[in-house]
Structure 1
Amino acid sequence: MNNSWEMKYRELKNIWGLEAEHILVQYQTMVKPGKVLDLGIGEGRNSLMFALKGHKIEGVDISETALQRCKELFTDIGCEYSLVHKELSEYEIQEQNCSLIISTWSLNFLKKTEAIQIIKEAQRGLVSGGLLYIGVFSKDDPQYQEYKAKYQEVETDSYYIPERNIIKTYFEKNELLRTIESDCEIICIKEDISLDIGHGEEHYHGALELVIRKI
């Protein structure tokens, strides 16, 4: 199991800030009562508001330190939760089990075939009316051209970064749209380039965000 994320969480706290993604806040009232599954939960920032609303939280992450911080957070709140220390590619999503599944900037660290498979499994993991939120880096991200020129491509648009021992993958809007199952509909799709001042030095990201609802 890659320990680069464990090292990063040990060095820093609140790596990604404290606030949930804006689109999750925007659509929170559409989330039905039930389980919220956070794939790459980190320190819990995106699940917190749902925990406070009484949802059961299930979180998966590769970092034990991040999961320990989640445990402390959810224990203080007194919500029902379960946390799984596992690679996302090895986690099995149960069918028709969740009212919301969250994946924020975590699928980019898998090979593209693994990420696409998880998106399809996540849709099957939703109950009727359930939502899936996906946030990924796009090929408009300035790092994409840099990595393409510098690193080995292990799959289409997936590059191995030896200094960190990680994979970095970039996506296009149309390939995300092709993953949408026939029993799901798009609620929101957004693509932009924005300045990230939340961690490390200021830098830009090209982003794709998608909200899907199970019909």
Structure 2
Amino acid sequence: MSHGHDGDHGEHDELTGAAYWDARYRESDRIWSGEPNAVLVKETDGLEPGRALDLGCGEGGDAIWLARRGWRVTATDISQVALDRAAAHAAEAGVAEDRIDWQRHDLGETFPDGTYDLVSAHFLHSYDDMPGERIMRSAAAAVAPGGVLLIVGHSGWPSWQENPHPGVHFPTPEEVLAGLRLADGDWEVLRCEEHERIQQTPDGQTGTRTDNTVKVRRLTP
């Protein structure tokens, strides 16, 4: 899995997993803006920096932003091309090498070790057989007591795009939350909602996109 500010499917439909994402990143020198996701900036305001896990880090925009604010980040992606590019961007930004641990993971197969004060997954969408709910449950299991899990995803296709993949289901925030199977009494739900944002269309016009945010905190025993 890989991400950026969107999880849109491009060319290379015949490829899956690492091959697809490596090919996608090789299409240009930069796929994403390099800026952190806006919801990450908003929802981490006031959190004490600690250990963070960025799932599907792409070219490193979120991980670099967190590291520059005092977090020690483990950043994962399925694409080694993306990880190499992200590490280069971190160096260009003056982020010390020991602030971010770049790890290649196909999250359907392997998952980073340890527990974290923040686990962040932005637009971790895929159109293959990626076991999304199981990965999100692994993400929840990696949250330390008192820590936060932040999941942001698309709620549907953008306003300017016809549905090119009729079999694709974008889960509602309630479905995302239910899929985590959180134990009663162990978690506090801080946010479970949809939000609309303005986005530039491929032809330079303005359109809208609806995303969802799920933010939960593991309670301290």
Does the TM-score normalized on the shorter chain lie above 0.5? Answer: yes
Gaps in structure 1 of 5+ consecutive residues: 159-168
Give the CA deviation at 1:139.
4.1
Q: Which amino acid aligns with 2:171?
A: F
1:40·1:59 contact (CA, 8 Å) conserved in 2?
yes
Q: CA deviation at 1:125?
A: 0.6
Distance 1:135 1:27, change over 3 A: closer
Which position in structure 2 is the counterpart of 1:84?
A: 103
Query: Could you tell me whether the CA contact under 8 Å between 1:54 and 1:79 is conserved in 2?
Result: no
Q: Residue 104 of structure 1 aligns with which residue?
A: 122
Whole-angstrom distance in 2 between the partners of 1:35 and 1:98: 5
Aligned to 1:187: 190
By how many angstroms is 1:145 displaced? 4.4
Alpha carbons 2:105, 2:111 under 8 Å: kept: no
Q: CA, structure 1 residues 125+12, in 2 after alignment: closer, same or farther (shift >3 Å)?
A: same
Structure with the higher strand share, 1 or 2: 1
Letter in 1 for 2:118: L
1:174 Cα deviation from its structure 2 partner: 2.2
Name the counterpart of 1:177.
177
Q: Please tell me whether residue 58 in structure 1 is matched to residue 74 in structure 2.
A: yes
**Greater helix content:** 1
Distance 1:7 1:140, change over 3 A: closer
Amino acid of the residue matched to residue 72 of structure 2?
Answer: K
Separation in 2 of the partners of 1:171 and 1:82?
A: 30
Residue 205 (structure 1) aligns with: 209
Q: Show structure 2 runs of 5+ residues with no match.
A: 1-16
Are the equivalent residues in 1 in contact too, given 2:174–2:192 (CA < 8 A)?
A: no
Task: Report whether the alignment pairs 1:129 with 2:146.
Answer: yes
In the TM superposition, residue 51 of structure 1 has moved relative to its aligned partner by: 0.6
Pair 1:141–1:206, CA change in 2 (3 A): farther
* Identical-pair percentage: 22
TM-score (norm 1): 0.77
Secondary structure of the 2:31 match is: coil
Aligned-residue offset at 1:5: 1.8
Q: Secondary structure at the match of 2:193?
A: strand
Secondary structure at 1:49's aligned position in 2?
helix
Residue correspondences, number: 194
**Superposed CA RMSD:** 2.6
